[in-house]
């Protein structure tokens, strides 16, 4: 279980995360929904530890001061100051916004890079899992990642994250810019990851509608604060959520 308590992030004096507490239970899909600039990526960077790298780089460059407060635990262990590489080793793996693949490398090379922390047998099993999850990648495995469609690239990005043996998989806006059909394919795949592994998943998205059917629990972010949270059914039956996030009254 990954648990963040009273997480706060400041970019200089700007409060980007305001006292956020979220829990991602084992083998659950947790949704984080919010408009542009609500703080989704800041939250994902804080959970994965990349925020510590960004903070360090900014400090070295004499740039803005980034401050983090709060507690973060993975299976009860304090990881608030743990480096991102150690967090990845501990099982927190981020599939970042805009995919960030190695575009000059092939699909297979991208997947294998993801497996650098895995043993040979883990890598073999994960690769088999990824290819079963995304059969389209089988015939694309020698293709350069930069030449794939957005949806295919997202499959590779999720595949690469799975190769890193996650316990908690962080998906930052995996549906961004994709067609409704491709969105549905990816959502089905995310559900399948939950069904066929014991991975916990946090998925951040601007639009709740396509993701909502698969989440167990969700948080709604506004201006860096979690303004609402609940199980899928609780949120679905909340009239404010319905009108604001689903356009239904
Ligand atoms: P998007 O959907 O646009 O990715 P988001 O919900 O992921 O939005 P964040 O990227 O976390 O939002 O941004 C939260 C707020 O923090 C925004 O107001 C953004 O402008 C600001 N912000 C993000 N990164 C920085 C930074 N490095 N320096 C200063 N402000 C930042």
To test ligand 1's pocket by mutation, which of 36, 42, 177 has the most ligand atoms within 8 angstroms of CB?
42
pLDDT, residue 56, reads 93
Residue 246's pLDDT is what?
66
Strand order in the sheet with 200-205: 92-95, 168-172, 200-205, 29-33, 217-222, 225-231
Q: Which residues of the chain have pLDDT under 70?
A: 245-249
Distance CA(52)–CA(68), nearest Å, equals: 9
- Looking from the CA of 41 toward its CB, the CA atoms found within 13 Å total 11
Closest among 168, 211, 170, 162 to 191, alpha carbons compared: 211
Distance 191 CA to ligand 1 centre (A): 28
> DSSP 3-state assignment of 76?
coil
Structure confidence at residue 98 (pLDDT): 77
Residues in the chain: 249
Residue 247's pLDDT is what?
61
Q: What is the pLDDT of residue 100?
A: 85
What is the structure's pLDDT at 248?
58
pTM of the entire predicted model: 0.94
Does ligand 1 lie within 6 Å of residue 37's CB atom? Answer: yes
The reply to whether ligand 1 has any atom less than 6 angstroms from the CB of 38 is yes
Per-residue model confidence (pLDDT) at position 63: 82
* pLDDT value for 77: 95
Please give the pLDDT value at position 230. 95
pLDDT tens for each residue of 41-79: 999 999 999 999 999 999 998 888 999 999 999 999 999
What's the confidence (pLDDT) of residue 117?
84
Nearest ligand 1 atom to the CA of 54 is: 27
18 Cβ below 6 A of ligand 1: no
Question: How high is the pLDDT of residue 167?
Answer: 96
Q: How many whole angstroms separate alpha carbon 37 and alpha carbon 13?
A: 16
Ligand 1 binding pocket includes 10 (Cβ within 6 Å): no
How far, in Å, from the CA of 128 to the mean position of ligand 1? 36
Determine if ligand 1 sits within 6 Å of the CB of residue 16: yes
């Amino acid at each position: 279980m990954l648990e963040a308590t009273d997480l706060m992030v400041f970019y200089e004096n700007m409060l980007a995360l305001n006292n956020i507490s979220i829990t991602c239970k084992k083998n659950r899909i947790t949704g984080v929904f919010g408009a542009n600039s609500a703080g989704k990526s800041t939250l994902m960077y804080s959970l994965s530890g990349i925020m510590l790298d960004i903070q360090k780089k900014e400090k070295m460059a004499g740039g803005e001061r980034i401050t983090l407060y709060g507690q973060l635990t993975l299976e009860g262990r304090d990881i608030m100051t743990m480096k991102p590489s150690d967090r990845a080793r501990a099982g927190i793996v981020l599939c970042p916004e805009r995919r960030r693949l190695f575009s000059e490398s092939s699909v297979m090379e991208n997947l294998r890079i993801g497996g650098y922390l895995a043993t040979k047998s883990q890598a073999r099993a994960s690769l088999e899992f990824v290819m079963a999850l995304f059969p389209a990648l089988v015939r694309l495995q020698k293709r350069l990642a930069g030449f794939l469609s957005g949806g295919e690239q997202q499959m590779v990005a999720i595949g690469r994250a799975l190769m890193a043996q996650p316990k908690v998989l962080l998906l930052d806006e995996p549906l961004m810019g994709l067609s409704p059909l491709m969105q549905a394919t990816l959502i089905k795949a995310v559900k399948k990851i939950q069904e066929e592994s014991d991975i916990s998943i946090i998925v951040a998205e601007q639009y709740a509608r396509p993701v909502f059917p698969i989440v167990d629990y969700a948080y709604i972010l506004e201006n860096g604060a979690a303004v609402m949270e609940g199980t899928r059914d609780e949120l679905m039956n909340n009239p404010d959520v319905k009108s604001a996030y689903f356009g239904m009254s």
